[in-house]
Amino acid sequence: MSASLQDNRLTALHERFAKEFGGAPQIVVRAPGRVNLIGEHTDYNDGLVFPVAIDRDIIIAARATDDNFIEIYSEDYQQKDRFSIADIIKTEEKPWSNYVRGTAAVLLKHGYKFGGFQAVSTGNVPQGAGLSSSAAYEVAVCYLISTLSNLSLTKKQTALFAQEAENNFVGVNCGIMDQFISAFGEPDSGLLIDCRTLDYKSIPLNLKGRELALVIVHSGVQRGLVDSKYNERRSQCAEGVQLLAKHLKREVKSLREIEELELDECAMALPEIIFRRCRHVITENARVSATVEAFETGDLARVGKLLEASHQSLRQDFEVSCEPVDILVDLTANYPGVTGARMTGGGFGGCIVALMEKAAVPGYTASVPVEYLKQTGLTATVYDCQAAAGASTV
Ligand code: GLA
C-alpha cells in the first residue's frame, strides 16, 4: 500500500473512532488479503501452495474497555455490532460481524481470556473476488485480541484459530492457505507452504529488481454457488484417497502420498472424473515445487509455462474455471510482455493472476479489458499489486 493511501485510510479510521467512541484508539492493526501464485485446491489435500500477501488489507483501530463487551463499527457496512464475550452466537443481521464473533469464540474455546474493546474496521480487499477478504478480517481480529490482551499468540496459532473461525463458526470449509499467508506474508516474497506439516519458506520474488508487476484482474464474474462446488471438489478428492487406498492395499492419508506414475497405474480403479480430480492435485503439487525452483534460478520463462499448465489443469481436470475466465487468461497470456497468467483462488469466476513486465501494465490495462468486454460483455478490473507483509501493528 502506498504511504499516502495508508495515511488517508488511517486518518479516516481515527475520525470514525472519535465519532463512535470518543477519544483515540490505543492500537491499529492490519492483515492483508492474498493472491495465490500457484498451488490451487492443494491445501486441503495436504499439498503445496505458493501464495503472496497483497498490499490490500483490513485495518482495525481499537481500545480496550474494562467490561466484557466487544463493540465494533464496520466502516464498510456503516453498521455497529455489540455483543457480550460471555455469550457469543452467530448473527444473521450483520454477517460481517461473524468474522469478529467467530474469532473471539474460537479463542475462548481454546481457553484464552480477554476483555472487551471498542473498535472500528475498514478494508480495501475487494470482497467476493477470491482475494481472501474474510481470512484477512479473521486474522486481523485474532492479531488484535492477542495484542490487546497480551496473549502472545504465534503466527501459526493466529492462522489456525482464524481458519477454525471460518470452518466452524462462519461455516465455510476452506483449507489453511488464506489465513496462513495473511499471518506470515513478507514484502516482495511468496510463501511456499507445505500444508501437511505447516512448514514454510519465504521465497524472494525480486519483482522490483526484475522490473516485473504482479497483476490481479477481476473477471467481473461473481463467484456464485462457490461453497457447494468447493465442497463437492473436496469430497471427490476424499473419494479418490479412499479408492486409491483400497486399490493399493495400504493406508493413504491424502493425495500428497501419491506420485503421478502411481496414479496412472491405478487409473482403472477410479471413475474417470475422480481420476482427473486426483491428477490435478498431484501434478499441481509438482508444479508448485518447480515454480519455486524457477523463481530461485530466475527462469521466468519456466514460471510462465507452469502458470499456464496450472490453468489448463484447473480448467480440464479439476473443472473450476469458466469461459470468461479462460478468455481473460488467454488474452492476458498472449499480451506482449506477459510472463504468464492463470485463474487464482477457488475458481468459478473471481480473479486471474499474471506476472508481466512493469512497462507493459499501462498498455495492458488500456487494451485487454476493452477486448475482454467485446468478447464477453463483462467488465474486467485490473489491480497492480505489491507483495506485502503479514499481519502487523500499524
Ligand atoms: C479457497 C480456499 C483455500 C483454497 C483455495 C483453492 O480460496 O479458501 O483454502 O482451498 O480456495 O486453492
Tell me how far apart the alpha carbons of residues 256 and 277 are, in angstroms, rounded to a whole number: 13
Beta strands in the chain (DSSP E): 27-38, 48-64, 69-74, 79-84, 117-123, 189-194, 199-204, 212-218, 338-343, 351-357, 381-385, 392-393
Q: Residue 189: pLDDT above 50? A: yes
| Mean pLDDT to the nearest integer, 305-323 | 98
In whole angstroms, how far apart are CA 52 and each of 2, 182, 337? 17, 9, 21
**What integer pLDDT is reported at residue 394 of this predicted model?**
95
Q: Can you count the helices (H) and strands (E) in the chain?
A: 11, 12
**What integer pLDDT is reported at residue 129 of this predicted model?**
86
What domains, with CATH codes, occur in the chain?
3-205 (3.30.230.10), 212-385 (3.30.70.890)
Q: Residue 5: pLDDT above 60? A: no
**What integer pLDDT is reported at residue 287 of this predicted model?**
98
Q: Whose CA is nearest to atom 11 of ligand 1?
A: 346
**What integer pLDDT is reported at residue 225 of this predicted model?**
54
Distance between Cα 15 and ligand 1 center (Å): 35
Closest atom of ligand 1 relative to the 40 alpha carbon: 12
| Mean pLDDT to the nearest integer, 241-247 | 98
**What integer pLDDT is reported at residue 51 of this predicted model?**
98
The one catalytic residue in 46, 55, 178, 317 is 178
The three cell numbers of residue 340 are 504468464
| Mean pLDDT to the nearest integer, 315-322 | 97
**What integer pLDDT is reported at residue 224 of this predicted model?**
63
Q: Rounded to the nearest 5 degrees, what angle is found at the Cα of 50, between the Cα atoms of 223 and 267? A: 80
Distance between Cα 350 and ligand 1 center (Å): 12
pLDDT in tens, 113-172: 999 999 999 999 988 888 999 999 999 999 999 999 999 999 999 999 999 999 999 999
Give backbone dihedrals phi and psi of 270, rounded to 5 degrees, phi first: -120, 140
pLDDT in tens, 36-57: 999 999 999 999 999 999 999 9
Tell me how far apart the alpha carbons of residues 295 and 206 are, in angstroms, rounded to a whole number: 9
Q: Residue 3: pLDDT above 80? A: no
Tell me how far apart the alpha carbons of residues 211 and 263 are, in angstroms, rounded to a whole number: 40
Beta bridge partners of 213: 356
Distance between Cα 65 and ligand 1 center (Å): 36
What 3-state DSSP class applies to 385? strand
Give backbone dihedrals phi and psi of 154, rounded to 5 degrees, phi first: -75, 170
**What integer pLDDT is reported at residue 1 of this predicted model?**
45
pTM for the predicted model, two decimal places: 0.96
Q: Tell me, yes or no, if 299 is annotated catalytic.
A: no
Residues with CB under 6 A from ligand 1: 36, 40-41, 43-44, 174-175, 177-178, 345-346
Q: Residue 2: pLDDT above 80? A: no
Percent of the chain with pLDDT over 90: 95
Q: Whose CA is nearest to atom 8 of ligand 1?
A: 174
Give the mean pLDDT of the chain.
96
pLDDT in tens, 65-123: 999 999 999 999 999 999 999 999 999 999 999 999 999 999 999 999 999 999 999 99
Residue 7 confidence class, pLDDT cut points 50, 70, 90: confident
pLDDT in tens, 248-295: 999 999 999 999 999 999 999 999 999 999 999 999 999 999 999 999
